[in-house]
Structures are given as structure tokens and as C-alpha cells.
A and B are shown apart, each in its own frame.
Chain A
């Protein structure tokens, strides 16, 4: 058991879940209080010891399912054909099986609902329909798809509803929800059974590698599916608060400042020269002004959105945050991205209310810089940190690097966050090389984790930059 646990912990670390030594030891201690046959008890106990962030639970579960995969049932032969040896996926046998009685049984078990029966059916259909071939490196998702499509799973809701006499309105909605939930639990039983067989065939580590779940902070912002975006929205606020708390803490420590010898001595005159009351210099912590300049075209829009959200959520750390969005024209959007505003709402509002398209709706950084200087030039002062987000793909238009150089000459700093992998910069129509010399820093920012690191660095740099008040 301890060897499995060791492998499991290192798998979690692989995934990116930070498991400390102490926590691993807690987990080993926890195992002693769990009956080994009780898989769910084990799951909850290990999760309590090893995962301290709710957003990591899904990835934990995925790994747990593999490492502590169900033992084969006592009667493993139920309806299972001999492993197929022919080369076309082993599914040929299924063609001859009459599936209708099985499907009828499934419908019956779903409408009861009879979860033990569902479990048995899941085992049976995986044996019959998945066509798992030993040693073939195919992911579990493929087998799941295969089983469900051969079962005609998409017809199940209609079949279940047909048993009721024309339910209407709300009643119908609630009934449909209920059946959907039951079908989902059946699907997860099927998934479980497939996984069990794969693990038996290939071993835990190999299967774990193929089923690994990305943590939300490591999902590629540019290609995140909608469901992931919703999850990211939920983490951004706590993340911002954590960062802000850390910065406030840091600042409070700085505020103590260095010993002010002159003042202390002067004060000591009143106590007859006794240095009784040390005086400290009060450092002034300069909060920077932020100007965000975000490309919101196509695939970089999501990234722009999260950058703006995080900066807004942290706006107490800055003296001011202004945001500009652009495609081939630029417009101010400060105020569109308040915390809690729905992503699609804010993007929609920008395309309705802000004029970010000047000519043809393809990014034109050169034109945008020109417009920014011309119309909003006063936004940039020596206290301003300019943060540009975008892929620097300019559709083969003039980059006008000299305009950014001009901005950089005025601003305190210019940072460029690029959501493309750095190795793609300067390929094709990317003009990063024209802008790089004007930038204080260039960062590849593809994930929330990288974004957090950048914002922390930015704000910390500001917090540490202090000037003692002269006495």
C-alpha cells in the first residue's frame, strides 16, 4: 500500500498539485484508519490530507481513479468474449450480439433507478462493446465513446421520457434533469470499468500519464474551452486577494523603515541624551499607475480578458488602472471589466460600444500605437507602467517600433505579455523583434500561473521601490 501511495503522491506532484512531505506523511497515517476495501473512504481520506485547494480535486480524482482502480469483480466473465485477436479493434463480435435486451435492461435500471444493476450492465457492456485490445496505446476516452455510441446512448433520454404521459413545463424539465443525472452516473461507471481494464493491462503509471488532468492554473488561456473559462473566472478573485494580502503584508513591513539616526538623536536631547525613543524613517511606497493595452482580436481575447480582470481585482495595489482595447483601432474600456462581470458580456460590450476596429478588423499594432499616442498620449506619464498584451502578429503591416520607443521614453516601464510560446515569436507576421528593444520586460504568459507570477513581480517591484522621506 505504501508503495502505491508513494507512486500516487509523485503522480500528484507531476500534475502540479503541491504535496509537501508533511502531507504525504499524514496520508500514510490516514491509511491506517481506512478499511482498504472501502475505496470511497480512501479517496476522501487521501484528498483531505493531500489536496488543499478545491480546484485541484478534479485532477486528484482522475489520478486516484487510476491508482486505486477497482479490483476485478469476482465474476469477471459475465458476457465477456475472449479477447479479440483480429486487428480491427476487436469490435466485430459485438455486431452479432443482439443489444436490444441489454438496452432494455439499461432503460429499466435507469428508470428505477437500480444502481447495482447499472454497475453490472456497465461491466457487461464494456466487455462486449469496448473492444479493448491488450497493449494498444489508446486512451480511455476513445473506448468510452465507442461503448456509448454502440449503445445508442443519445437516444436514452427520449426513451426514458417516453415512459411518462406527456409531462409538461417544469415537471418535464425536472424529470429530464433527473434522467440526465442518472445517465451521467452510468457513464461514469462505464468509464470506471474501462479504466480498471486498462490499468490491469498496462499498469497504473502508464494509464495515469494518458488521463492526467491539467490544473486550472495550467490551462492554455488561448485555447481554453468555455467550461474551463468559467472555472478560471472563479479562481481569479481569490487569487487576486491572496496576492493583494501578500503585498499588503510586505508593504506594512517596509513601512517600519530604517532607523532615522538624526531624528533619534534630536529626540534624545529631551531625555538628557538617552537614546530612549528610536525614530524611523517613513518610507513612501510608490504605487504605480497602470495602463493596459490589450489586443482583443480572435484567440488572444480570452487572455486579454483575464489580464484585465486580474489587474482590476488588484487595483488597490496600484494608484490607477486604465485599460485600452484594440484590434486595428484603439479605445478606452476602463470600467468594462469590473470584477464579476461575465466574460462574454464584457467582450460583447466592447464590440458594441468601443471602437476597436478602425479598418478591417485584423490586428494592426502600428496603427494602434499611433492612435494611442495621438488620442490618449496624456495617459502615459513617468509614473506609468504600460502593459501590452497580445501576440504581436501584425498582419504584415508596418510595426512603427519608433512609436513604442517614444512611449517607453516617457513611461516608467513597458511590459509585453505574449500568450504565444516564445519559440513562435518573430515567425510569420509576428513583429516582436521591432518592439522588444523598447520593452522593460517580455513575458510568455500562457496560463493563469504565469499571469499570477507576472503580476506579483510587477506589484512587488513597485512595493520594494521606496524612497525615504527627508527630515
Chain B
């Protein structure tokens, strides 16, 4: 699969689709493709984990198949399900027919509901499979994911074993609200994405908000760095600094100062306690 001969090429390709990686990101992506292993991307919300998977699909010209995880996600939503209603209708229509023919029929292709995992396995063209926010599923579902990732195959009792037609590039993301099992982690390469350095944050801002003046982008990145250095309940992430940039633009603000910052802190911070703390810090020592 590997089209890239160096991490530098990966970085350039990602930048072309407006994703700004750091060295670690492009290195791990490069390695994952070389070793043909899934990547487990972990980090706080809003640092570009999901976006990375989307960007990877784009640079490879592959379809993105996304399995959004949530508590209660099970095999029938992750892998496959039979279309019971349709089966029932069929049974009623065929009343009196020979059972074995009916059985073959209703457990056939046209009654199968393909879910993201199966869809990725059966796709004739290689895809990018994104298993998003995997830390939300229960241990049983984690075990199912592990099975699929281990051999790139799944067994469906009525159909037999489904093997991957083409190897998908797999990205799992986690906000680390729960430690994942060792077995799953062992399968994957691990990529931690934290908050970006100021320079990269400025570049992300300029890419995502093209109308933003250079100077303002620089100030925003600086203020956000300053805020992140404080112990808060929820630090502002990249997505919040982008929102803040858009807000400032919309307000016609060309330069950030204490007043502007305190007035718009609610865009960056979720908790009132954090807003108060940061405002006190900005306005306090004179």
C-alpha cells in the first residue's frame, strides 16, 4: 500500500489537505503504513484525532468508513445484523415452502445489514477504517474489535468467515476516559497527540481560518498557550482556539488585549470556575 517513502512525504501530503502534523504524527503514520498496523490515537478532545483519519483517507484517495463508538455499541451495530422485518415478510410470503430453501434464502446477501466493520472488510477497494472514541465501548465490544483487527476477518455463523478483501488502514481514537485493554493496545501503534506548540497552532489557525491576519493568529496562539499553562478543569483545545479566532474575526477585532480576551473567554473555556480563574490571572498582576 505504502506510497510514501518518508515521513516528510506524509507530512507534505497531510499539509496539502489542510492537516498540519507534527513530527511525531507523520512519523507514526508513516510507520503504521510500513508495518501495516492499526494506529491508536489518544489525546484530549479537539486536538485533531478524528481529523487525522479523515485527512489520511483524503491523501490516499480512499473512502473513509467510520464506526462511531458509544456505550452500548454491540456486534449488531458494529459488524452486521439480519434484516428481521424483511426476513419475516419473506417467510410470510413463502408460507409452505421447503424450509431449507427458505433458510438459505433469508440468510442471504439481500437480507444482510452491513455495519461499518463488515463494510470495511468487504470493500473491494482499500478503505480507511476509523473506529472513533473507542474508549466508550464496553469490554465485550472491545474484544470484538480486537478479533477483527487481529486477523482482519470476522465470522458470521450463517455466512462463514469473511476475510478482508483489501487491507484497510485502521485508525482508532480515544479520549482516554478509560484505559483500554492491554491486548488491544498491543495490537496497535500508539500515537499520543497533545496540544500543539505555538508555532503549529498558529499555522493550524491560519489554515482553518484563512481570513485570519497573521498577527492575530500569533496572538491567539500565544494567549491559548498561556491559558493552558494554568491548572484548569478543562483546558482550551485546538477546536476552541479555532472558534475563538472565528469569534474575534466576526467581532471585527484586529488585536487581542486583556479586555477583549476576558470578554470572550466563554468561547475558550467551558467552566465558569475556569473563566474566573483565567480572568483574574489576566487582569490581576499589574
Contacts and interface: CB of A to CB of B under 8 A. Distances in A.
B222 A177 contact: yes
Contact of A170 (B28, B40, B180, B223): B223
A40 B26 CA distance: 12
Contacts of B186: 20, 22-23, 52
Interface string A34-54: 100000110011011101111
A376 to B, nearest CB: 31
Interface stretch (A1-9, A120-128, A240-248): A240-248
A177 B286 CA distance: 16
Nearest to B219: A174
A33 B43 CA distance: 25
Contacts of B102: none
Interface stretch (B83-91, B126-134, B189-197, B239-247): B189-197
Contact of A230 (B177, B231, B258, B261): B231
What is the predominant secondary structure among interface residues of chain A facing chain B?
helix
A241 B231 contact: no
Contacts of A48: 27-28, 31-32, 39, 189-191
Contacts of B282: 170, 173
A83 interface: no
Interface residues of B, number: 48
A29 B225 CA distance: 37
B118 to A, nearest CB: 24
Interface string B246-268: 00000000001110010000000
Nearest to B189: A48
A52 B190 contact: yes
B139 A245 contact: yes
A457 to B, nearest CB: 18
B189 A49 contact: yes
A242 B142 CA distance: 12
A238 B174 CA distance: 11
B30 interface: yes
B208 interface: no
B190 A51 contact: yes
B179 A241 contact: yes
A174 B226 contact: yes
B229 interface: yes
A459 B66 CA distance: 36
A239 B34 CA distance: 32
Interface of A: 18, 20, 22-23, 26, 29-30, 33-34, 40-41, 44-45, 47-49, 51-54, 57, 169-171, 173-174, 177-178, 181, 230, 237-239, 241-242, 245-246, 248-249, 252, 340, 342
Interface of B: 7, 23-24, 27-28, 30-32, 34-35, 37, 39-40, 42-43, 135, 138-140, 176-180, 182, 185-186, 188-192, 194, 198, 219, 222-223, 225-226, 229, 231, 233, 256-258, 261, 282, 286
Given A57-B192, A170-B261, A249-B138, 14 more contacts: A33-B35, A47-B190, A48-B32, A48-B189, A48-B191, A52-B182, A53-B185, A54-B176, A177-B222, A181-B198, A239-B179, A248-B139, A249-B140, A342-B231
